[in-house]
Structure 1
Amino acid sequence: MAQSNLVRLAKRGDTIAIATLLNRAFHKQRVIVQVQLQGSCLKILLEGKPLPDQSQAIALIHQRMQRLQPERINSIQVYGRQPGATRPLWTEVRLLQGPTSPPDRETELSLQPIQPVEAQPVEEESHSHLQTSDRESTYPLTSRILTSPMSLQPRTIEARGMSALLTGFMLAVMLFVLGPLKVLFHGFLILVHEVGHAVTHWLFGRPAIPSVNLLFGGGITLVFGQSLWLIVLIYLGIAFLIYLCRSYPRLQGILVLLTLVYTVCLLTRTNTMLSTLMGHGMELVAIAVCLYFSTSGYFCRIPGDRAIYAMLGFFTLFSDMQFSWQLSHDADFRAWYEGGIGGMIDNDFVILANEYFGVDLSAIANMFLLGCLLAAAIAFLAFRYEAWWIRGISQLFQKQG
């Protein structure tokens, strides 16, 4: 995000913007900064090993805050703590001078001498307060990871999120019920499906192009032979990524583990199974991602984006649930599906059932139906318990050594 936009939001008292600016200021010292607004006092936690010098850190923060003159903030309370510790090594309070309102009673109380008691974690400002259009359009998920929230509290869907979900649900029902509109938006499913095939083929060294089946309708992915040079490039890219993560041992270890799993898949039939599976698999990903973006408001730039995300997520969910249900309970539909594309090319689930898993087609259909429900559930659970998994990711990006 542009520095000018961050400064503008920070002047308005936006705690995430302030945290982002302070994290940039302490980046070279490998210190993570977290903030919480309590009344008109901004509580700031510095966490790192080693911690910066107290006087220098306080002076830097005080200078930056004096320049910003953020609205509603009359004082700062700074803590210094080492990672994993429960008590701060030091703490200090400073008043901000400038054209701000006089300190309120809550601020006066917060400026009393601090006793050396158990340090309370600095909680992130409640998500229910993050309802400005600037917040939704400017701060995607990556900003939340960089600010490393400490408050492990479940999120609740605010009024605008509920309104977007309800609007998207109603629009999806209309699209699903009205035949012409359903056919029109079925193209979205075809695109997602074929992109899923193509991306997975590319990951395993097979160039692929998602396309439209002009003869029999629907989509088809044109797949070429596996290229040794492409696989070499993939491994070189992985090696370079692991090298870049040399200061993050936890992240580096996960990348090494994923590389081993990737190698096993590449050397076995698992890679072709995944390439076949990820057509419908990408539809499940689309359900989860669209519903998550709608619920959270991330990557929403204009009014109505959240409702559109919800509409696409619910439409994909309804279409996939209907497809799996018909495949299990409608004999005519199942016979048509087993007939393949033009009577020559087997459909994905037929290939998975016969060539890889050796089960009845209805078993694959039922698993896909369960996957549809899980995708929707995962979207809402990821939103509700966002603080937990974001904190886990942020810990992977903590430098060591």
Structure 2
Amino acid sequence: MTTPSVLERAKDGDGAAIAALLSSSLKAKGIAVRAERESFCLHLWFTSTTVPPQGPTVAYARRAIERLQVPSIGILNLYGEQTGFAQPAWREEIALLSLASTDPGAPPLPAAPELAGPGAADPVSLSELEAGPAPAAVARAYQELGLAPGEPLAHAESVYFKRRAELLRRGDRAALEPLKWAFTTLKTHLDQAAAEAESAETGVYASLEEDFTVAPVVQRPRWSETGSNGPAPRLSSTQPTATDDTDILSFQNRYSNGLIFPGLLLLGMVLNAMPLASFLLRGIRIWFHEFGHATVAWLSGRQALPLPIGWTSYNPQRSLFVYLGLLTLLGLLFWAGRREGLRWPRVLAATLAVVQFAMTWLLPANTFDMLMAFGGVGGEIYLTALLIVGFYCPLPHYFRWDFYRFPVVVGAAFCFWGQVWLWQQVSQGRASIPFGSMWGEAEDGDMNILINGHGWTPGDVIGTYSTLTHLCLFAIVAVYGYTLFRQHRETFIALGRQWLP
């Protein structure tokens, strides 16, 4: 059997072969390409010692893939990154308009020079990159979205997000990819048409060859962001775009971050203030309380089983199996965050690994017992606060945190505000310390153990938990304020210049 050539494998959708072709043609520019297939979505990373110019690179890759005519690839995710930096400098998602139908008269993609031997033509000449959309693909995109041809982008966005939300509610994830392809195809087509119209009016036509020879953008190391040469260039991936603002699940959506987030906190506060809702949702408090106990045990290398009946069973003896098992899970979280270029999963995994080591091997047994008693009510405070600020922290796609963070924040806020109100009342003498336990003797309660078994005074209990609630509340407000400032920096600066002397 004849071994397929690199070009044949690329036309079959082989990501490694496509990356080899592109790397070969871009080698002279000092750009290396790697690829990864995910269903009919192709991810391409363009890496160089300086950040590859976004516009020409995107146009080059798009034209190259379109000429390969791979029917199994519908969405193209492109990333530009600089060697030595974990985060891409830019990212762009486009639809391959050749998915449904390509121009039968389009010339085939020649082989890459290094793969075909000396004298072979450049696989995709930069002068050949200008390409218009395939009409059949655009028509199919309109049909997939149930729209009449010629509908504006705003209407297409509205229909797309409504159907996407409906599919998510039904759990029909298989239908999401075709829907996403249709929307990105239509958006690419309409954006390109608008750009061409604008260029025709202004008479400005940029040359891709010239764009590739402009001075490269260089990322500065993090430690020199405020050096004498001025601030480091801001990564485009951190800036909210129009698409982000229309996608409520996006972590860069300014409406979700600025308006919906405080609305969720307010909803949790209202539910906590309503006696009936507070009674019906009492199970949420119990879960957070028991998980507060369990997380202390797990991080200390002990076996623990939290139950929704107000009881956590645990073994006071260290378990190497628990320690290594949790460490493995943290390692997988770190790896997933690194693979998807997410900072927070790596920070969380590394921090918890250090805490786990200290609590498992350095923590005295008496201190562990004290933290187990403290962790119940403490978990209702710091675990809920962690989930609330986690609203702004992307996690690996497997967790679908972009969707589940909304109901989770409501539940966490419900429990958090209950503790804030409780300890505010206790510190003012309007309520008493919650002694006792749901099960067993009254002396088995967490507060009883802290006072009778570890020498805490009622003042210590009140002061510690009140301070913890205030610190967590400050952290939530600080994260919210920082996010607002980061996404509306120009507005805040303008207001400051107007109102401050």
Scaled by the length of structure 1, what TM-score is found?
Answer: 0.56
Q: Which amino acid aligns with 2:206?
A: L
- 1: CA distance, partners of 2:329 / 2:394: 33
- 2: CA distance, partners of 1:353 / 1:368: 22
> Which whole-Å deviations, capped at 9, do the CAs of 1:302-334 have from their partners, x for residues lacking one?
xxx665344324322321111211222226513
Q: Which amino acid aligns with 2:217?
A: A
- 1: CA distance, partners of 2:350 / 2:269: 45
- 1: CA distance, partners of 2:308 / 2:132: 64
- 2: CA distance, partners of 1:188 / 1:272: 24
In the alignment, which residue of structure 1 is the partner of 2:320?
A: 231
In the alignment, which residue of structure 2 is the partner of 1:278?
A: 375
Name which structure has the greater RCO, CA cutoff 8 Å, separation 6+: 1
In the alignment, which residue of structure 1 is the partner of 2:463?
A: 363
Q: Does 1:288 pair with 2:289?
A: no
> Which whole-Å deviations, capped at 9, do the CAs of 1:140-197 have from their partners, x for residues lacking one?
x8xxxxxxxxxxxxx6x62345453354344334322221111111220111110221
SS state at 2:210 partner: coil
> Which whole-Å deviations, capped at 9, do the CAs of 1:201-258 have from their partners, x for residues lacking one?
2343433222355xxxxx232233425xx3255247748987998xx9x999989855
Following TM superposition, by how much is the alpha carbon of 1:280 offset from its aligned partner in structure 2, in angstroms?
A: 3.3
Q: Does 1:206 pair with 2:308?
A: no
Q: Which amino acid aligns with 1:224?
A: N
Contact 1:176 1:319 in 2 (8 A): yes
Report the CA distance shift for 1:93/1:367 in structure 2 as closer, same or farther (over 3 A).
farther
Report the CA distance shift for 1:379/1:354 in structure 2 as closer, same or farther (over 3 A).
farther
- 1: CA distance, partners of 2:350 / 2:259: 42
- 2: CA distance, partners of 1:240 / 1:295: 19
Report the CA distance shift for 1:292/1:179 in structure 2 as closer, same or farther (over 3 A).
same
- 2: CA distance, partners of 1:360 / 1:164: 37
- 2: CA distance, partners of 1:175 / 1:240: 34
- 1: CA distance, partners of 2:61 / 2:274: 61
- Aligned pair count reads 311
Report the CA distance shift for 1:371/1:349 in structure 2 as closer, same or farther (over 3 A).
farther
Report the CA distance shift for 1:340/1:281 in structure 2 as closer, same or farther (over 3 A).
closer
Report the CA distance shift for 1:34/1:124 in structure 2 as closer, same or farther (over 3 A).
farther
Contact 1:194 1:220 in 2 (8 A): yes
> Which whole-Å deviations, capped at 9, do the CAs of 1:338-388 have from their partners, x for residues lacking one?
46665321324861797277762222132222233134236526756999x
Contact 1:294 1:309 in 2 (8 A): no
Scaled by the length of structure 2, what TM-score is found?
Answer: 0.47
Report the CA distance shift for 1:275/1:80 in structure 2 as closer, same or farther (over 3 A).
closer
**Superposed, which structure 2 residues align to 1:241-260 within 5 Å?**
260=357
2:428 to 322, 329, 342: 329
Contact 1:325 1:369 in 2 (8 A): no
Question: Could you say what the CA RMSD is over the residues aligned between the two structures, in angstroms?
Answer: 5.3
Following TM superposition, by how much is the alpha carbon of 1:198 offset from its aligned partner in structure 2, in angstroms?
A: 1.8
In the alignment, which residue of structure 2 is the partner of 1:377?
A: 477
Contact 1:23 1:31 in 2 (8 A): no
In the alignment, which residue of structure 2 is the partner of 1:97?
A: 131
In the alignment, which residue of structure 2 is the partner of 1:111?
A: 208
- 1: CA distance, partners of 2:281 / 2:329: 40
In the alignment, which residue of structure 1 is the partner of 2:442?
A: 343
- Percentage identity across paired residues of the two chains: 15
SS state at 1:207 partner: strand
- 2: CA distance, partners of 1:366 / 1:290: 18
- 2: CA distance, partners of 1:257 / 1:295: 20
1:308 to 404, 407, 412: 407
Report the CA distance shift for 1:330/1:257 in structure 2 as closer, same or farther (over 3 A).
closer
Q: Does 1:299 pair with 2:401?
A: yes
SS state at 2:302 partner: coil
Report the CA distance shift for 1:351/1:60 in structure 2 as closer, same or farther (over 3 A).
same
Q: Which amino acid aligns with 1:187?
A: G
Which region of structure 1 is more displaced relative to structure 2, 174-183 or 251-260?
251-260
Q: Which amino acid aligns with 2:314?
A: V
In the alignment, which residue of structure 2 is the partner of 1:123?
A: 236
Following TM superposition, by how much is the alpha carbon of 1:119 offset from its aligned partner in structure 2, in angstroms?
A: 1.7
Following TM superposition, by how much is the alpha carbon of 1:273 offset from its aligned partner in structure 2, in angstroms?
A: 3.7
- 1: CA distance, partners of 2:402 / 2:351: 31
In the alignment, which residue of structure 1 is the partner of 2:261?
A: 165
Contact 2:302 2:315 in 1 (8 A): yes
- 2: CA distance, partners of 1:256 / 1:171: 34
- 2: CA distance, partners of 1:128 / 1:349: 53
Q: Which amino acid aligns with 1:97?
A: A
- 2: CA distance, partners of 1:123 / 1:177: 42
Report the CA distance shift for 1:207/1:118 in structure 2 as closer, same or farther (over 3 A).
closer
Contact 1:176 1:315 in 2 (8 A): yes
Contact 1:265 1:271 in 2 (8 A): no
**Superposed, which structure 2 residues align to 1:28-107 within 5 Å?**
41=55, 63-64=64-65, 81-83=82-84, 95-99=129-133, 101=192, 104=196, 105=199
- 1: CA distance, partners of 2:485 / 2:367: 32
Contact 1:168 1:310 in 2 (8 A): yes
> Which whole-Å deviations, capped at 9, do the CAs of 1:240-286 have from their partners, x for residues lacking one?
987998xx9x9999898556524443455443344333333433222
In the alignment, which residue of structure 1 is the partner of 2:280?
A: 184
- 2: CA distance, partners of 1:378 / 1:68: 48
> Which whole-Å deviations, capped at 9, do the CAs of 1:79-105 have from their partners, x for residues lacking one?
785337xxx9xxx96624342656633
- 2: CA distance, partners of 1:253 / 1:175: 35
SS state at 1:221 partner: strand
Report the CA distance shift for 1:345/1:256 in structure 2 as closer, same or farther (over 3 A).
closer
In the alignment, which residue of structure 1 is the partner of 2:271?
A: 175
SS state at 1:226 partner: strand
Contact 1:295 1:383 in 2 (8 A): no
- 2: CA distance, partners of 1:32 / 1:279: 51
